[in-house]
């Protein structure tokens, strides 16, 4: 079977992507070492863990050396930001958010390009509506996601043998979303948000698209009817 590496796979959307890809792919489950990641690997019999701190570039390089061929790379790992105005956002917040959401993504892609070229593989960037529209209070997060949009566009032009898909979902019913809503001071109503399984299904469908087509951008917005 083809091999897929999913970052941020220990819970939420990443875990759901893994579950939906498991019947058709050998899986490398990316994430920090944790009981959750190990439990998912046990649940998905045959899956392996890729337990790496993505912002540790030396560790990341060592972990990717053994991957000689890779059919699918799903960039799902990411962090939110503090939702402060630009005037109140310290440089450390910019460094943290951009380091995880953009720089680590670019570096993992670079390290795995030989393996992706060997398989004529597929890179999926799980982006965000914030990668297309920046709202007040979201500057570091949106900047990181706009950066991922640019990264995907450039990669698509530079690597014509590799398919590159950007997925721009609206807000998803996840633990991170609960934290954001709490910061915003609102009550959490999961019906307002996309289900992880719905977003995962769109990603898996893009991956399964026959090779004569290139699914480039996918935009998903919640309807409130879930």
- Among candidate residues 190, 102, 195, 219, the one with its CA nearest the CA of residue 154: 102
Active site residue 188: no
Catalytic one of 141, 146, 168, 193: 141
Sign of CA dihedral 78, 80, 201, 221: negative
Q: Pick left, alpha or beta for residue 31 (phi over 0 → left; psi -120 to 50 → alpha; otherwise beta).
A: left
**Exposure class string for 37-60: b at 16+ Cβ within 10 A, else e:** beebbeebeebebbbbebeeeeeb
Known catalytic residues?
141
């Amino acid at each position: 079977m083809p091999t897929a590496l999913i970052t941020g796979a220990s819970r939420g959307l990443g875990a759901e992507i893994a579950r939906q890809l498991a019947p058709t792919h050998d899986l490398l489950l990316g994430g920090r070492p944790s009981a959750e990641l190990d439990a998912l690997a046990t649940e998905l019999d045959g899956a392996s863990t890729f337990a790496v701190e993505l912002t540790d570039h030396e560790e990341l390089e060592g972990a990717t050396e053994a991957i000689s061929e890779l059919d699918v790379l799903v960039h799902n790992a990411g962090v939110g930001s503090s939702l402060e105005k630009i005037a109140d956002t310290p440089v450390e917040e910019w460094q943290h958010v951009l380091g995880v959401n953009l720089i680590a993504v670019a570096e993992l892609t670079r390290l795995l390009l030989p393996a992706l070229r060997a398989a004529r593989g597929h890179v999926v960037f799980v982006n965000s509506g914030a990668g297309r529209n920046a709202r007040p209070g979201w500057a570091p997060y949106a900047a990181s996601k706009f950066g991922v949009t640019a990264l995907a566009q450039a990669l698509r032009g530079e690597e014509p043998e590799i398919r590159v898909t950007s997925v721009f979902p609206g807000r998803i019913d996840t633990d991170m979303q609960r934290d954001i809503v709490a910061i915003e001071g609102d009550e959490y109503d999961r019906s307002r948000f996309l289900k992880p399984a719905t977003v995962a299904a769109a990603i898996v469908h893009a991956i399964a698209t026959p090779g004569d087509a290139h699914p480039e951008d996918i935009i998903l917005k919640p309807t409130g009817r879930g």
